[in-house]
Structure 1
Amino acid sequence: MNGIAYPVVREGDDEIAQLRARVRQLEKINTALMDRVERSIDMEGGAFSMFETAIALESVVRDRTSALEAAMSELNRVIAELAAANEDATAARILLRDAIESLNDGFALFDADDRMVLCNRAYIRIFPWVEEMSNGSPEFSELATRLANTGATLSSHIAPERWLRDRVERHRRAEGAHVQALSDGRWIQINEIRTSDGGIVGVYTDITSVKAEDARQRALELAERNLALQATLDTLSEGVCLFDAQHRMQASNEGLMRVLALSDGSAEAVRDHAALVRWCVDSLGLDSPEALDWRHETTQRLAAECLIDGRNFIIRSVPLSNGGMVFTFDDVTDHMRLQRSLTETAETLERRVNERTAELVEVNRQLVEAKNEAESANRSKTSFLAAASHDLLQPLNAARLFVSAMDGQALPERPRALVQQTSTALDSVEDLLEALFEISRLDAGAIQPEIVDLPLGGIFNTLRVEFAPLAAAGGLQFDVAETALWVRSDARLLRRVLQNFVSNAIRYTEVGQVVVEVEQHADTLKVIVRDTGPGIAQEDCEEIFEEFRRVGRTQKIPGKGLGLAIVRRVSTMLAHDLALDTTPGKGSAFSITLPCVAPLIVAEREEPVALPSSGAGGMVLVIDNDPAILLGMEALLENWGLEVVAARDPGDPVVASALAQNPAMMIVDYQLDDGLTGDIAIATMRAIAACDIPAMVITADRAEETKALLASLSLPVLHKPVKPAQLRALLRQMDVI
């Protein structure tokens, strides 16, 4: 091949051969015709016959000659095209040869039968023996076999058959690049790719210099790591030495020289493991030579306490995976002295701790007793308040009913004024008791918040309806912002806070306005109740949140000083921040900060179904275990034109008689005698009447469980002391009056 072999281009050979055959055929025909003419002349000898024959032959010869000339012209054209194609092919072959030969990498092309078609000089420089085989278009397997037999690669030198099998298989897959190490130290990267006609192109790159640079870099990195390792070892306070599998010392640190009292001249004394043992035993008086035993059976790290040159050492030995061993010498003399000192100190401290523990046990016992007493007192207070919430409200409720009944009578001016004053005093007592009971429930943890996502607009609407008449009566402008925002809080407790804010603002503002505003921030919003009242001095801003504390001009205005104390407790329970912005003489702005949430889609509420009634002016059945309340309720309801049947127990015969008359309403106390509750009494009386008589419950129990129970039974509830206006409104709503 002389370095490269190329295929010969034979385009147009078949067409030229056909044209030449056609020309030869026409020449034979022409010769035959001429011969026939000559024979005809000899045979007939007639001049006219010869003339006719000559004319016919001339026409035939002319036609044949024209066809021959056309064929020759087409042949010349094809020959010219063929010559041009051969010139182009020759130029292409030259360009291809120059391009392949210009490659620094070896190049070889194999056809679909895996025979070598061509290769360049760079390929032959990599594999010199290929040159003598290239002229015969050898198969790749022949080339690989020759390479394996000569041991030209390291792998083929070790296992030629296995290398040959793997190399031929890798060549047939032609999946990309791989690297071969040659026996002469060169590294060749081989990149083989399959062509579209099923052949294989191979590019062979000598990467020996790259490998050498990589090896140099690795050696440099290894040297740097060795230096770093040595520097690290030298920073250790312990003595460290490393031995290889032949028991020769490979590395040590300055700590070892110091521990073993070695100088630069005596370092050879521990050049191997045996020398190390001899030096430690003979020169330093090691009392436990077994601590330096060479171990092969385990990789577990072992430690032994020893005496070397009169000092305490811990010798640790760690077998390495390559068969070597590492020994460390840790001087623990000072540590052991400190440990003994600490032990003595610990014993002294232990005695003192025992003494103090005994004292603390006694103090703790006293604290437990005090805690138990405090808890007992708290339970007693809670029980007392629970009892008081019923026992105090019972006579207060009766007094309220009697006063309301008297207020409905035609009385002289002086007695009517006394009745109104009595009603005002009862209102004050009622507000005070309700505030005290609410504070007690908050302090006792009896009120648990129900944190939900709720619309702020609903609470604002309640404030607008509830306080608009009160503000109008005081000549104040009362504005509540419209809002569609939602917050996360307890609806009842949040409403209680805002009610206190608005109630205080209206009570203490003489002229101007009270405004409820909303300020929205990133994920919170602030509800502000702003007034134009007297304002609060800065030194009093903290005191107003304490019980029964009223400051400045507010002391002359009716109030108990408990509303803001309740607000502080509720806001702490709900984890809502309170704020007060005030200027004396210009007004105040109380605010609470709430977490803002995305609005929820709430289904439309169904209109409540009206309870059946017997019409206005019907009979009302009242059940209460307090005779005074029965008398007051009877007097109040009769003033409203109702017929009243009163009883202390649902089992009273008058109850059965009243139920037979189908009363318009049943008003039942929740806490009756013998543990009977109002809900059960109502269910019993409805069963006796065999119909669903409208009913309501009156109770002094403000527990959330009681409210939830009665709400689940769809029983309206009024809390004692009953406000006659609320009772009358409820009776009107239920079409009783």
Structure 2
Amino acid sequence: MASTTSSGDEREREAEIEALKEQVRRLEKINAALVDRVERSTDIQGGAFSMFENAITLEAMVRDRTAELEDALGQLASANAKLEVAHRDADAARSRLRDAIESLSDGFALFDANDRLLMCNRAFLKFWPELEDLSENSPAFEDLAQQLARSGRTIGSLVSPDRWIKDRIARHSKADGAHVQALSDGRWLQINELRTSEGGTVGIYTDITSVKAEDARERAKELAVRNLALQATLDTLSEGACLFGSNRKLQAWNDGFAEMLMLKAGVESVIGSHEDLARYCVEERGLDRPQAVEWRDGRGPRISTECTMDGRHFVVRSTTLATGGMAFAFDDVTDRLRYQQSLKETAETLEKAVQQRTAELSELNSELEAAKDEAEQANRSKTSFIAAASHDLLQPLNAARLFVSALGERRLAPDSRGLVTRASVALDSVEELLEALFEISRLDAGAKEPEFVALELDRIFTALRIEFGPSAKSAGLDFNVEECGLWVRSDMHMLRRILQNLVSNAIRYTERGSVSLSARRDDDQVRILVRDTGVGIAPEKREDIFHEFRRLKITSRQPGHGLGLAIVRRSCVALGHVIEIESEVGEGSEFALILPAEEPVEVVEAAKPTRASRPARGGGTAIIIDNDKAILEGMSALLSNWGLQVFAVSGLSDQALEGAIAAGPDVLIADFHLDDDLTGDKAIASLRDAIGEQVPALVITADRTEEVKASLTKQQLPMLTKPVKPAQLRALLRRLGVLQ
């Protein structure tokens, strides 16, 4: 690189000198022309003064040009001096580079961009003495390769000169790293070729013969270790093994081979070749299948042959080797066969025992199936019984509720009003207990199938705020419901029932502070949180609260039956939701309901039904249809207190029905289950046909099944469940326009 830089500076200086010389020549030529003009010029007008002025002017010009010429000559002399110094520096650098290259123990060669040899050292020529005569004339690399091929200096050139030349030129043109050449004199040469920045190639040639020799020694050691490992492996085999080379001579064996073939005198003294093995096995040991030890030429699969020798059973495995030899393995399987025979006999015995046990299990399984069917039937009977019992209990309870409500709206003495209030509270407690028992029975029986839909939490939260806000306020608590804008996937009625129970419990068991309802999203799940500042729950009691009729002692003064959280647990199982609890005694509790998140969907609000034919007013007429006399009397008393004229009938064949129809009723109220398989919706349809008008109507029932709800919803008939809460009934009648 230093030599290249010096050559560039020298060319620049030579170019500068040539330019100065050309400038001097031009100045000399101008000066000569001026002098000649002065000598030959004459004044055409004969004026001597004019000639004098021209002479002075020419003299000044000559003086200026002469000064410029002297300055140019000075610059030329300075450039010559610098050029001489540059020549000396370049020669010194070239000499140092030559000395450095010659000091290398490795061969060095430099080729230009045209792939011609520019420089090489003596070490390079020692590797390739055939190239010494060519190196002075900057030969091309191809010429050098052809010369080496003709000399047979490398193993490759001796085998195939043309192919070696082609491969060597291709490697040189790539110049992408090192490769190894084997020389014909036994040496090994590593050639490392790389590109220079000017497009040339530099090659380093290193003698690695000693490295190759060390590698060969290491490979020999490795081979010896492998042989030892092979022998050790053979000795660990339970089989007798032997190995023959391609010349069919015995090469290796293990102790198991000598033991199985009973070679007490020594293996080598009896078996030196494969022929000895075949002869000994057949003649001395009585091998019944000689093909087990036959020699096979060429590669082939491993062959296993079952045979006998000396009355014992053997499996002889033979395989051909890649080296042309063969390996044999002798496995004495006599004891194994005896063991297998004993196992077979045992298996037959076990099979008989299994068949006998299977028959017993089949009989037991039939008994279990029958027991299962009986249990399922009992469960269905229990559910039916609870449903029927609930219906039968709700009928008198509904009548009692109506009578108490009607009595409560009359003017009573304070003591009497207190008794009515306590009776109403007691009825509320009985109603809640029956509803909880009925819901638990339906969940246990699997009679309540969830209907999963996308639900907007804010709508449910708003309903809960309206429902529990007054009770929280009356208890002196802050009830905080946070809007979340989230949607979930669940069953509308079951999810609302879960949250109602959680919020109701939180308000019931919190004496001071607040109750909050919120939700947040975690990836593809939503966590609904119900927090309170109540009494808290000890860790060892957190599982008990989800069991039926289990309540904490600290909350025993509060009303309740211990069924709300049992319903929550069963509903979560049915829905596949997760319920978690965190609590600290005296600090409050947090219940977390975890359920799948859902993307928002567009909700189309259903148009509310209107009564265009009848304006809302008080003092109207109502027809009540129920097959329970007590309920008819209670409803009549309650509705009469509200200013309605009531016609109470037990069915469509009641004689009082004609007068009721003639009076032009404002509302129809029917029980769902009537006599003679008549249902409330059918009774309402029949009355509407008789009246000739779509009179507002509602159904009251103790049947809480989803089928009844779905049927009435499809017919757009409002439904109230027994026992009827007077406030709900009054609100519904106002919505229907019957009451103001």
- C-alpha change, 1:668 and 1:207, in structure 2 (3 Å) is farther
The Cα shift of 1:720 comes to 1.7
One-letter identity of the residue aligned with 1:492: R
- Which of 576, 579, 587 is equivalent to 2:579? 576
Structure 2 distance, partners of 1:222, 1:656, is 118
- C-alpha change, 1:558 and 1:144, in structure 2 (3 Å) is closer
Matches within 5 A, 1:319-330: 319-330=320-331
1:302-330 per-residue CA deviation (whole Å, 9 max, x = no partner) reads 32222234332222223344444332222
Matches within 5 A, 1:514-553: none
Structure 1 distance, partners of 2:473, 2:66, is 133
C-alpha contact 1:612 1:693 (8 A) present in aligned 2: no
Structure 1 distance, partners of 2:28, 2:544, is 139
Stretch of structure 1 that moved more, 272-281 or 589-598: 589-598
- Which of 708, 720, 723 is equivalent to 1:721? 723
The Cα shift of 1:432 comes to 3.7
- Which of 610, 614, 617 is equivalent to 1:612? 610
One-letter identity of the residue aligned with 2:366: R
Give TM-score, length-normalised by structure 2.
0.74
- C-alpha change, 1:246 and 1:417, in structure 2 (3 Å) is same
Matches within 5 A, 1:191-340: 191-263=192-264, 265-296=266-297, 299-340=300-341
The Cα shift of 1:114 comes to 2.4
2:360 corresponds to: 359
Structure 1 distance, partners of 2:371, 2:596, is 48
SS state of the match for residue 240, structure 1? strand
- C-alpha change, 1:273 and 1:678, in structure 2 (3 Å) is farther
SS state of the match for residue 262, structure 1? coil
Over the aligned positions, Cα root-mean-square deviation in angstroms equals 5.6
The Cα shift of 1:87 comes to 0.6
The Cα shift of 1:589 comes to 9.2
- C-alpha change, 1:71 and 1:360, in structure 2 (3 Å) is closer
C-alpha contact 2:178 2:192 (8 A) present in aligned 1: yes
1:313-350 per-residue CA deviation (whole Å, 9 max, x = no partner) reads 22222334444433222222222222222222222222
SS state of the match for residue 226, structure 1? helix
- C-alpha change, 1:620 and 1:92, in structure 2 (3 Å) is farther
C-alpha contact 1:468 1:478 (8 A) present in aligned 2: no
User: Percent of counterpart pairs with the same letter?
Assistant: 49
- C-alpha change, 1:19 and 1:499, in structure 2 (3 Å) is closer
One-letter identity of the residue aligned with 1:349: L
The Cα shift of 1:526 comes to 8.2
- Which of 469, 491, 495 is equivalent to 2:495? 491
One-letter identity of the residue aligned with 1:192: E
1:344-372 per-residue CA deviation (whole Å, 9 max, x = no partner) reads 22222223333333333322222222222
C-alpha contact 2:535 2:588 (8 A) present in aligned 1: no
Q: Number of residues paired by the alignment? A: 695
C-alpha contact 1:398 1:632 (8 A) present in aligned 2: yes
Structure 2 distance, partners of 1:21, 1:725, is 124
- C-alpha change, 1:136 and 1:557, in structure 2 (3 Å) is closer
C-alpha contact 1:664 1:693 (8 A) present in aligned 2: yes
1:214-272 per-residue CA deviation (whole Å, 9 max, x = no partner) reads 44444434433433333233222122233344434443333323323335833353343
2:38 corresponds to: none
The Cα shift of 1:616 comes to 3.2
2:703 corresponds to: 701
**Do structure 1's residue 174 and structure 2's residue 179 form an aligned pair?**
no
Structure 2 distance, partners of 1:8, 1:22, is 23
SS state of the match for residue 261, structure 1? coil
Structure 1 distance, partners of 2:675, 2:136, is 125
- C-alpha change, 1:157 and 1:693, in structure 2 (3 Å) is farther
The Cα shift of 1:116 comes to 1.5
The Cα shift of 1:94 comes to 0.6
1:97 corresponds to: 98
SS state of the match for residue 576, structure 1? strand
- C-alpha change, 1:183 and 1:703, in structure 2 (3 Å) is farther
1:267-296 per-residue CA deviation (whole Å, 9 max, x = no partner) reads 353343332222322333322222223345
2:51 corresponds to: none
Stretch of structure 1 that moved more, 223-232 or 340-349: 223-232
- C-alpha change, 1:551 and 1:82, in structure 2 (3 Å) is closer
**Do structure 1's residue 594 and structure 2's residue 592 form an aligned pair?**
yes
Structure 2 distance, partners of 1:427, 1:469, is 15
C-alpha contact 1:501 1:590 (8 A) present in aligned 2: no
SS state of the match for residue 295, structure 2? coil
Structure 1 distance, partners of 2:302, 2:234, is 19
1:731 corresponds to: 733
- C-alpha change, 1:518 and 1:721, in structure 2 (3 Å) is closer
Structure 2 distance, partners of 1:177, 1:661, is 116
**Do structure 1's residue 383 and structure 2's residue 381 form an aligned pair?**
no
1:37 corresponds to: none
SS state of the match for residue 266, structure 2? helix
**Do structure 1's residue 141 and structure 2's residue 137 form an aligned pair?**
no
Structure 1 distance, partners of 2:418, 2:98, is 130
1:585 corresponds to: none
- C-alpha change, 1:84 and 1:575, in structure 2 (3 Å) is closer
1:397 corresponds to: 398
Structure 2 distance, partners of 1:399, 1:67, is 138
- C-alpha change, 1:643 and 1:213, in structure 2 (3 Å) is farther
Structure 1 distance, partners of 2:10, 2:646, is 131
Stretch of structure 1 that moved more, 63-72 or 231-240: 63-72
C-alpha contact 1:501 1:529 (8 A) present in aligned 2: no
Give TM-score, length-normalised by structure 1.
0.74
Structure 2 distance, partners of 1:262, 1:415, is 119
1:84-135 per-residue CA deviation (whole Å, 9 max, x = no partner) reads 2221111121122122223333221223332212111121122121112212
Stretch of structure 1 that moved more, 715-724 or 600-609: 600-609
The Cα shift of 1:193 comes to 3.2
